[in-house]
Structure 1
Amino acid sequence: MPAAPDLDEPVHLAPYDPAWADAGRALVDRLAAALPVPAEVEHIGSTSVPELDAKPVLDVQIGCAPGDTDAVVAAVRGLGFEHLGESGVPGRQYLRWRGERPANVHVVALGGPLWADNLMFRDYLRARPQAAARYARAKWEAVRAAGRLLAYSDRKAATVAELMAEAREFGG
């Protein structure tokens, strides 16, 4: 099933920017302060991994009780984020901001598989610079071959799967 055309946006990568860490912390704090229910908020994705080239878009994950998802989504929408539903990932609500500092917010079940996998992947790349470098190479190859989000994601999917398998071994 094809995604909505507005989800398949142009993609570009940038060399690592140390300012991403501070911007990620600031966004985590802003989101956490806006939430009306208990939740955990984490900076995830490539901008959360030191020295990793990335799309210059912050990714933040909010973990909450499944019954609190609507309240969390409403709070994030209240900050001006656009809600795009699951966007092809069952169990996740996806929101994005495309302003001066672009950001994605992923609302998932706290402690669930998406929550755990995103943190495990981030932590593995932080702990293993060689794995992060391999991921960066795959990302650059994918962006050169495909300038739009869905094709870019497809082209790097095999490397992501390999790294996730390594991360599970590393974590276990």
Structure 2
Amino acid sequence: MISVVDYHPGWPARFEELRAAYARALDEARAPYLSVEHVGSTAVPGLAAKPVIDVDVVVAEPDVEAASAALAGLGFVPRGDLGIAGRYAFDTPERFAPSHTYVAVAGSLALRNHLAVRDVLRNDPALRDEYGAVKRRAAAVAADIDEYLLLKSEVLGRVLRRAGLSEEERRAIAGTNRGIARRGARG
């Protein structure tokens, strides 16, 4: 079953704890990074969400390996890109749970997708509330993550359109989401 809960005002503080730990590890390893971003629904004040903090460590492409090694030093287990170009996933050690952490290449469609959804929903309360209601309904009836993603795909497409992503980019993101669901990975 998929759990979607009311927005929790403690999520930003938890992200800040994660951000500080990741930045410290990256700095100590001398792993170049551009930013550590709070993404996903927990990054949008007022939005219902799965209670998992999503974090993107943004790097230039040549720095993926160094950033991944720094996170591995904290106990993260690299899983590779899982078929999503420009986004590298990790299994999360218990002390950082519940969270999903990714190393994301600056400018990649994966990162642009994460930032676009976050930024549009932060700036459009009506669309945020509509998306939250759709997520709740989807979570209540979906048999699995595949059905959940499908049920929220129409409104998510509108969010991405509002963010200025092209039709081709939106199709690529929808295809990636279907691939995530087929693999049973995080969504």
TM-score by length of 1: 0.83
> 2:89 maps to which residue?
94
> 1:165 maps to which residue?
161
Unaligned runs of 5+ in 1: 1-9
The reply to whether residue 26 of structure 1 matches residue 41 of structure 2 is: no
CA drift of 1:61 comes to: 0.7
> 1:136 maps to which residue?
132
- Cα deviation, 1:37-65, whole Å, max 9, x if unaligned, reads 22111111111110111011000111111
> Which of these residues, 118, 121, 126, is aligned with residue 122 of structure 1?
118
The reply to whether residue 38 of structure 1 matches residue 32 of structure 2 is: yes
CA drift of 1:130 comes to: 0.7
Quick one: which amino acid aligns to residue 140 of structure 1? R
Asked if 2 retains the 8 angstrom alpha-carbon contact of 1:24 and 1:43, the reply is yes
Which 4+ runs in 1 deviate beyond 4 A? none
Asked if 2 retains the 8 angstrom alpha-carbon contact of 1:13 and 1:53, the reply is yes
Q: Cα–Cα, structure 1 residues 108 and 140, in superposed 2: closer, same or farther, change >3 Å?
A: same
Q: Cα–Cα, structure 1 residues 108 and 74, in superposed 2: closer, same or farther, change >3 Å?
A: same
CA drift of 1:77 comes to: 2.2
Pairs aligned (count): 160
Asked if 2 retains the 8 angstrom alpha-carbon contact of 1:60 and 1:103, the reply is yes
**C-alpha separation in 1, matches of 2:104 and 2:12:** 22
CA drift of 1:147 comes to: 5.0
**C-alpha separation in 2, matches of 1:72 and 1:54:** 27
TM-score by length of 2: 0.77
The reply to whether residue 65 of structure 1 matches residue 28 of structure 2 is: no
> 2:45 maps to which residue?
50
1:5-24 aligned at under 5 Å gives the runs 11-24=2-15
CA drift of 1:78 comes to: 2.1
Q: Cα–Cα, structure 1 residues 31 and 110, in superposed 2: closer, same or farther, change >3 Å?
A: same
Asked if 2 retains the 8 angstrom alpha-carbon contact of 1:92 and 1:107, the reply is yes
Q: Cα–Cα, structure 1 residues 83 and 147, in superposed 2: closer, same or farther, change >3 Å?
A: farther
